Amino acid sequence: MATFISWNCRGFMSKSSELKDIINKHHPACIAVQETYLKTDKHYIRNYQIFSKHHNSDRASGGVAILAANYIPSMPLTLNTNLQAVAIRIQMKSLVTVCSLYLPPNDRVSQTDLNNLISQLPSPFIILGDLNGHSPFWGSTDSNARGLQIEHLLADHNLCLLNSDEKTHFHLPTRTFHSVDLAICSPFLLPFFSLTVDNDLYNSDHFPLIITDNRHNPTNSYRPPKYVLNAANWQKFTSLANINSETIKSSSIEQALSYIVNTIIEAADSSIPKTSGKRRKQNKPWWNAECQQAYKIQRKAWGIFRRYPTPQNFINFKKSRAESRKIQRRSCRASWRKFISGITSTISSRQMWAKVKKASGVSNTNAISVLIHNGQTISSLKGIADSIASTLAYTCSSQNYPRQILNNKINAEKQKLNFNSRTNFSYNSSFSFLEFQSCLASVHDSSPGPDSITYSMIKHLTAESQDALLHFYNRIWQEQYFPALWQQAIIIPLLKPGKDPKNPSNYRPIALTCCLCKSGFRKGRSTIDNLLALETDIRLSFLQRKHLVAIFFDIEKAYDRTWRYGILKDLYDLGLRGNLPIFIKNFLQLRKFRVKVESEFSDFFIQEEGVPQGSVLSVTLFILKINNILKQLPTSVKGYLYVDDLYISCTGTNMNFIQRQLQTAVNNITQWCNNNGFAISISKTAGVHFCRKRNLHLDPEIKLYGEDIKFVNEIKFLGIIFDKKLSFLPHVKQLRKKCESALNILKVLSTTTWGADRLSMLKIYRATVLSKLEYGCTIYGSARKSVLQKLDPVHHTALRLCSGAFRTSPVKSLYVECCEPALELKRQMLSLHYYFKIQSNSNHPFHDFKLRPFLIRLQNARKSFIPVFFTRVQDILNDLNLLHLHVTPEPKSNFPPWGIPVVQFLNPFKTFIKSD
């Protein structure tokens, strides 16, 4: 069975506590709410998504909303009506349309508007709302015009009324009861739906209507239990999870894996508690015994008045209700102050951020939407999971490749790759226990895969069991066999921001693979390297009064379409043989996945191409495959690649020359993509013509797949907005807007007499706001002073909030009080840090960067031009008298990671007790 609720709450925000009580009592699939008094959509109720329509007036009044349970597939309906109505379609036994409707008593409602609303509701449907109509048909003693209007509506459209003669509204001035809240449904639903009225007003003047769907509902609120690792008895787990090395040696790899998984899971079941599988109740942390007692007295007074409706009993009820509200408000304020004041520097970072998220209202809602796939509406959980899974499988399928790429793929794969070798390469040696321990120390708990084993379980195995597990890994490595269980993944679909939830291709797959088989990017490098290269090239082109044209490419479904044979071919061409390439080959082949939606799983689907989602190795393999794309460029064209973010640029005084060179580069890149299984998105690829010349200079015409590449005035690359004049004004404006939004949490947490302490506030500021200001500041910090000063008010406001200082406090005193430098000094400091990092890495592309003499002369002559990064750093060093500093390069290890010798340390103090 499933339950619908209809309630005129008379204020969504003021009745949110009562709304939680209704949810905890009835566990409804959806709630139709009227008179919400809302003006914005920024509201949150745990486990529910809110669809609302606000009344168009100067003040918050009227309005309707529907709260739909996250675990039940639903989708909003677009209604073209002037009425206060909102509708959704929700999956019960079948798809049911639910409409929340409010008809104000003093408004004139035309029959045409009502007929138009009915025509827009897909059948079967149910209309829930406060219609303010009186008629003997639903228990009123008399009729009014609205009631007659509703009677005509029922007759004209052959609709059924679920009400009988229940009283749904209590009129306080006259102390009388009326029937104005109605439930109207299609004839198809009448045999299955029944209506009752709750006996509590919940501090409104309307009783909630409870509509029950008596059919079996295949969708339930049950969630698969999870291990509660924080409550684990690890001592008991360690004693029970004994992995026998002899069993590992004598069994096949598949049998050994099954034995390991069963041993660990059996120990976990005995020593680690699990969640109940029930969804959490709507929490009211401020509710205490005093609130409970006051509410009990209020309920008792209401019961007496219902039985004996005398004036004195009504006065007693109003007094007890007022007292209950007063106590609840007082308790709520005190609880909030205590909660915020608990954010101190003495609690752990994990506890602090948990409190901050709660205070800021951050929710991790992942509501399930009804899908529309190939013209069909899919509403069951199993159907939704299968639809998303089939879409992902098609994305990774070779059928999705263009014909030219597919032909090249078929021809290339005719050549078989033989990785067998009799030579003993060092990278094929067995894993050592030191490697195993160092990898295990670097991982943190994440969602487990199909075997339900977490990293914490592996960490809490005894040394003997870990050694047996290491022997199992080495068997896989040496015997060149990959277990079938490790080739499976569970996909959790997350909707991409701003995308249509009804389209199954708009979900980002988050893969959960077995932790037993999991252990990036290049060490010592970052996005700033590529940003610096682009900014330096643009600054130098401006200095020489040249044009610089850059094209920023977007590779479609880069990870999902990576050509697996191409990866292996690149490994083969690099000369890799033996265990390493064979392991990667086994790792890539026969990958299977299934999508999980709530408690339902899709069928298994094959991932034909692409690198496995959720694996650390996937990033490395993708980089290996795409790295050769930069070798296709002419000598006059530069290119930089950060994983799948690629841009090319060309500098010159002649635009025709730039156009020819870039067109050649684009043609070469597209040809390389055709030969290597990649495809470039035409709609997302864009170019920018960077130029400071005053005369009119047309953008070049460069074609991609026969279509013109669009040229824009600004583009976001690796988180920084580059405009064609390189003023960084658009970036600074957007950055300030983001930071001001992030400041809201500090405003919530800070007060003069209570709130979080200063150290915690500064920690939150540095993590939520200052981190945004610091990212890329070595690049955008080259902007004019007038542009950068737009960020200073954000910094100063945050420091005032953190320290509790007055608005009139001098800025310099804030810096001293909070131990935070000015943003200008912060940018200089980070620039120096980055410069020293470059100088300490002899392999960095900018390690030996020096301006040519004629560029130095130009730079000295043209003072109005902003210098490049390295000149700016030299100026800072000169001001600080640090030009004499010599940076020692980082020493290079003589051993590969797998060949680091085990070092034994002599510790003569090991036997002594520290307290002695």
Contact criterion met (CB below 8 Å) for 160 and 185:
yes
Structural Rg of the chain based on CA atoms:
33
Which residues 6+ apart lie within 8 Å of 44 measured at CB?
50, 361, 363, 365
Q: What is the mean pLDDT of residues 259-284?
A: 89
Give the up-direction half-sphere exposure of residue 605: CA atoms within 13 A in the CB hemisphere: 23
- Cβ atoms within 10 Å of 119's Cβ, excluding its own: 8
Element (H, E) at 3: strand 2-8
> DSSP secondary-structure letter at 750?
B
Q: What percent of the chain has pLDDT over 70?
A: 95
Q: What does DSSP say about strands 30-34 and 2-8: parallel, antiparallel, or unpaired?
A: parallel
Residue type, 183: A
Q: What is the mean pLDDT of residues 4-12?
A: 94
* pLDDT of 668 higher than 50: yes
Bigger pLDDT: 617 or 103?
A: 103
> pLDDT band for position 885 (50/70/90)?
confident
Q: Which CATH number fits domain 527-563+611-719: 3.40.50.2300, 3.30.70.1120, 3.30.390.50, 3.40.190.10?
A: 3.30.70.1120
Bond into 402 cis (ω within 30): no
Q: What is the mean pLDDT of the chain?
A: 89
Bigger pLDDT: 339 or 51?
A: 51
How many angstroms separate the first and last alpha carbons of the chain?
A: 68
Residue type, 209: L
Structure tokens at 805: 């200082």
CA distances from 204 to 4, 38, 171, 207 (A): 18, 16, 10, 8
* pLDDT of 520 higher than 50: no
Q: What is the mean pLDDT of residues 899-905?
A: 70
Structure tokens at 664: 């050649």
Bigger pLDDT: 443 or 518?
A: 443
Sign of CA dihedral 161, 167, 169, 174: positive
Closest CA to 11 of 35, 31, 33, 28: 35
- Per residue in 533-556, pLDDT (tens digit) is 999 999 999 999 999 999 999 998
CA distances from 219 to 71, 222, 326, 599 (A): 8, 9, 40, 9
Domain locations in the chain as residue ranges: 4-213, 232-273, 289-360, 376-520+566-608, 527-563+611-719, 729-849
Contact criterion met (CB below 8 Å) for 99 and 126:
yes
Extended strands (E) in 672-741: 686-690, 703-704, 707-708, 710-711, 714-717, 720-723
By CB atoms closer than 10 A (0-12, 13-18, 19+), residue 867 is: buried
Confidence (pLDDT) at 519: 47
Closest CA to 5 of 207, 201, 187: 207
- Cβ atoms within 10 Å of 13's Cβ, excluding its own: 12
Structure tokens at 866: 């902003």
* pLDDT of 241 higher than 70: yes
Element (H, E) at 114: helix 111-119
Extended strands (E) in 81-233: 84-91, 95-102, 125-130, 160-161, 169-171, 176-178, 181-185, 193-197, 209-213
> pLDDT band for position 221 (50/70/90)?
low
- At residue 481, the 3 state secondary structure works out as coil
Element (H, E) at 553: strand 547-554
Give the up-direction half-sphere exposure of residue 569: CA atoms within 13 A in the CB hemisphere: 17
What gap in Å lies between CA 257 and CA 559, rounded to an integer? 29
- Per residue in 791-821, pLDDT (tens digit) is 999 999 999 998 888 888 899 999 999 999 9
Confidence (pLDDT) at 616: 76
DSSP bridge partners of 126: 98, 185
Q: What is the mean pLDDT of residues 317-324?
A: 94
| Dihedral class, residue 295 (left if φ above 0, else alpha if ψ from -120 to 50, else beta) | alpha
* pLDDT of 66 higher than 80: yes
Least confident of 47-61, 78-92, 618-632, 806-820: 47-61
> pLDDT band for position 595 (50/70/90)?
very high
* pLDDT of 312 higher than 80: yes
- Per residue in 223-235, pLDDT (tens digit) is 788 899 989 999 9
Q: CA-based diameter of the chain, in Å? A: 100
Closest CA to 209 of 162, 170, 146, 171: 162
> pLDDT band for position 883 (50/70/90)?
confident
Which residues 6+ apart lie within 8 Å of 647 measured at CB?
530, 534, 550, 551, 552, 553, 639, 640, 717
By CB atoms closer than 10 A (0-12, 13-18, 19+), residue 118 is: middle
Sign of CA dihedral 203, 204, 206, 212: negative
Q: What is the mean pLDDT of residues 313-341?
A: 89
What gap in Å lies between CA 354 and CA 331, rounded to an integer? 22
Confidence (pLDDT) at 111: 93
- Per residue in 191-209, pLDDT (tens digit) is 999 999 999 999 999 999 9
Confidence (pLDDT) at 844: 87
Q: What is the dihedral of CA 19, 25, 26, 29, to 10 degrees?
A: 50
What gap in Å lies between CA 253 and CA 683, rounded to an integer? 48
Which residues 6+ apart lie within 8 Å of 853 measured at CB?
none
* pLDDT of 97 higher than 70: yes
* Residue labelled with tokens 């983001």: 738
Structure tokens at 140: 């009123």
Contact criterion met (CB below 8 Å) for 197 and 212:
no
Contact criterion met (CB below 8 Å) for 211 and 6:
yes
Contact criterion met (CB below 8 Å) for 431 and 470:
yes
What gap in Å lies between CA 916 and CA 912, rounded to an integer? 7
Structure tokens at 116: 């138009």
What gap in Å lies between CA 235 and CA 387, rounded to an integer? 44
Contact criterion met (CB below 8 Å) for 406 and 876:
no
* pLDDT of 733 higher than 50: yes
Extended strands (E) in 447-506: 488-495
What gap in Å lies between CA 544 and CA 188, rounded to an integer? 77
> pLDDT band for position 282 (50/70/90)?
confident
Which residues 6+ apart lie within 8 Å of 424 measured at CB?
none
Confidence (pLDDT) at 295: 92
CATH code assigned to 4-213: 3.60.10.10
Q: What is the mean pLDDT of residues 261-284?
A: 88
* pLDDT of 864 higher than 90: no
Bigger pLDDT: 279 or 568?
A: 568
> pLDDT band for position 463 (50/70/90)?
very high
Confidence (pLDDT) at 48: 92
Compute the C-alpha angle 530/535/537, nearest 5°: 95
Q: What is the dihedral of CA 789, 793, 799, 801, to 10 degrees?
A: -170
Which residues 6+ apart lie within 8 Å of 383 measured at CB?
371
